[in-house]
Chain A
Amino acid sequence: DTGVSQDPRHKITKRGQNVTFRCDPISEHNRLYWYRQTLGQGPEFLTYFQNEAQLEKSRLLSDRFSAERPKGSFSTLEIQRTEQGDSAMYLCASRSLQGSEGYTFGSGTRLTVV
């Protein structure tokens, strides 16, 4: 297990389309986080899971956004009816309940809505 994997790396979509991103965390990490990063800004928290339970959602996560982690392993983030303002880097991170509290981030999915 070499780290957190995100797919796809890049996604270009037309406004109004739905998109889905996938994150595979480090296998022994039971906490998984989604962040959004726009150019020149730090990552902004969207939501997090402990195992399969979604425990917190940011108000940034509008009704068009949904995240799942059905078996407590990989997670998906879906955006419905995409808008140009959704264009950003979507980062996934995981961490264990033991050890360092720091995140291990994936390389992100860059979404461009045209």
Chain B
Amino acid sequence: GENVEQHPSTLSVQEGDSAVIKCTYSDSASNYFPWYKQELGKGPQLIIDIRSNVGEKKDQRIAVTLNKTAKHFSLHITETQPEDSAVYFCAASKNTNAGKSTFGDGTTLTVKP
């Protein structure tokens, strides 16, 4: 089955700096890659996603890049703010699995004011 590895497990940045979180996946058939943000006591919230026919997608301060050949994808957050502090999860899924996703183990991002 699919295996998703996520790095780093913890990341601390100064407010205003950029943060990058990287994930690799094992199944070349995976074609949908969402990122979720999870705050304490809440369920994960979808923040951005990318399909395998696209190399990059941007939404304001958040961007995701995908390298299908190398089977890795990354989340980029620019101009970080304290409210970006949370646990971020990457995931991978295949259309044929009706959206069942395999998640990474998460990155705890801390943005210091």
Counting residue pairs across A and B whose Cβ atoms lie within 8 Å, the total is: 64
Would you call B100 and A48 a contact (CB within 8 A)?
yes
Would you call A45 and B100 a contact (CB within 8 A)?
yes
Q: A48-B98, A55-B98, A101-B32 are in contact. Are A108 and B43 (CB under 8 A)?
A: yes
Would you call B99 and A101 a contact (CB within 8 A)?
yes
Instruction: Say yes or no for B55: interface residue by CB 8 A criterion.
Output: no
Instruction: Say yes or no for A4: interface residue by CB 8 A criterion.
Output: yes
Instruction: Say yes or no for B75: interface residue by CB 8 A criterion.
Output: no
Size bracket, chain B contacts: 20 to 34
Closest to B9 in A: A40
Would you call B89 and A42 a contact (CB within 8 A)?
yes
Instruction: Say yes or no for A41: interface residue by CB 8 A criterion.
Output: yes
Could you tell me the distance between the alpha carbons of A109 and B101 in the complex, rounded to whole angstroms?
Answer: 20
B98 in complex: contacting residue of A44, A50, A104, CB < 8 Å: A50
Would you call A42 and B91 a contact (CB within 8 A)?
yes
Contacts of A85 in B (CB 8 A): none
Contacts of A100 in B (CB 8 A): 46, 49
Could you tell me the distance between the alpha carbons of A50 and B104 in the complex, rounded to whole angstroms?
Answer: 25
Top-4 shortest CB links A-B:
A42-B103, A105-B43, A102-B46, A102-B34
Known: A45-B102, A48-B100, A101-B34. 7 other contacts (CB 8 A): A44-B103, A45-B100, A91-B43, A101-B32, A103-B44, A105-B36, A108-B42
